[in-house]
Amino acid sequence: MAPRKSTKKPNVSAEELKAYYRDMLLIRRFEEKAGQLYGMGLIGGFCHLYIGQEAVVVGLEAAAEEGDKRITSYRDHGHMLACGMDPNGVMAELTGREGGYSKGKGGSMHMFSKEKHFYGGHGIVGAQVPLGAGLAFSDKYKGNDRVTFTYFGDGAANQGQVYESYNMAELWMLPVIFVIENNQYAMGTSTKRSTMSPSYWERGAAYGIPGEEVDGMDVLAVKEAGQKAVAHCRAGKGPYILEIKTYRYRGHSMSDPAKYRTREEVQKMRDERDPIEQVRSLLLTGKHASEDDLKAIDKEIKDIVNESAEFAKTSPEPAVEELWTDIYATEVPQEA
Ligand SMILES: Cc1ncc(C[n+]2csc(CCOP(=O)(O)OP(=O)(O)O)c2C)c(N)n1
Ligand SMILES: [Mg+2]
């Protein structure tokens, strides 16, 4: 069989490649900064970093259009940045400050943006999957052609509610892309120890849902698969499953001692498969960008991230009265 990696030139412009490089780097540097602030005691509670998985959201956002929706788990900072949410608001939510997306009352796992159609941030494993099908139901009901990206992990993919969602989604032909971010671990449990059918996307066959496995360290492969899935949903053909093979470099959360895998395993991934390095090398070898161009992007990102950290440190703590607000809905929104 021919090798999966093709040597032909990618069908993508220099500007697009630079944008993917920039967007992935923003997530990486933002997460590194969040890790530092956590270490300094400025961020409390749970904090799950997305480092290593950047190509998944950046590739899929490249396939999305205005008005499309997204919903994910607690490993959510990358998704927020990739859909255009403000880094200042995300970082300030991590530090629990007034300027945060949930006014400092939600933290890492509980942020939302109506403007960017980002529906969270969910701490209960798998809970976002039926919710994502419900978002797609609302679009189908309204008769528009929006698509919902519903992200979940390999661990969540073993839950019953995922299969109930698959069943309803195909039955009602809902425009939902089920995105399994298979980073090979659910906390400390490797997929090798948790499933008898490791090809997660194939499980859709039981419900008639098509899908495919995608190289999640290659942003161009993710984008291409995303476009195919989006076209399927927009054409009214119902749901689609993308199992995106990826890898997280850091622990499950900031409190993970990571005793379940070797340092060598992580280092090998970083050295051989890093999604940002792959695009960097495409840009340089294809002469789409010079070292100086990339340095300028690095500087731009560093400035954005530093500014977000500064904002997150200086924004005030929420006022005590805020404890009593945002608890109950005061009005029912007519249009999502
Ligand atoms: C219903 C429920 N069960 C257990 C937990 C504890 N828990 C948090 S994350 C996690 C692992 C999920 O792994 P996966 O779906 O692969 O996502 P990843 O963390 O790798 O992104 C578990 C068991 C939880 N939050 N909710
Ligand atoms: Mg996982």
Q: Which of 241, 68, 235, 219 is nearest to 151 (CA)?
A: 241
Residue 4 pLDDT exceeds 80: no
- For residues 256-271, average pLDDT: 94
Q: Which domain holds residue 115?
A: 14-187+200-313
Q: pLDDT at position 281, please?
A: 97
Is residue 289 domain-resident?
yes
Is residue 1 domain-resident?
no
The best mutation among 122, 187, 244, 248 to test binding of ligand 1, ranked by most ligand atoms within 8 Å of the C-beta, falls on: 187
Dihedral-angle region of residue 122 (phi above 0 means left; psi in -120 to 50 means alpha; beta otherwise): beta
Is residue 327 domain-resident?
no
Is residue 32 domain-resident?
yes
* Span from the CA of 156 to the centroid of ligand 1 (angstroms): 6
12 in contact with ligand 1, CB cutoff 6 A: no
Which helix (H) or strand (E) segment is 182 a member of?
strand 176-182
Give me the number of domains the chain comprises. 1
* Span from the CA of 4 to the centroid of ligand 1 (angstroms): 31
Report which protein residue has its CA nearest ligand 1's atom 2.
Answer: 125
Atom of ligand 1 nearest to the CA of 182: 16
pTM of the complete model: 0.95
- For residues 185-205, average pLDDT: 96
* Span from the CA of 181 to the centroid of ligand 2 (angstroms): 7
- For residues 300-328, average pLDDT: 96
78: pLDDT confidence band, cut at 50, 70 and 90? very high
Is residue 18 domain-resident?
yes
Q: pLDDT at position 317, please?
A: 97
Is residue 8 domain-resident?
no
Q: What's the CATH number where 106 sits?
A: 3.40.50.970
Residue 20: other Cβ atoms inside 10 A: 27
Is residue 4 domain-resident?
no
pLDDT digits 0-9 by tens, 160-172: 999 999 999 999 9
Structure tokens at 13: 């412009």
CA distance 101 to 119: 12
334: pLDDT confidence band, cut at 50, 70 and 90? low
Is residue 76 domain-resident?
yes
Residue 61: other Cβ atoms inside 10 A: 22
Q: pLDDT at position 9, please?
A: 58
187 in contact with ligand 1, CB cutoff 6 A: yes
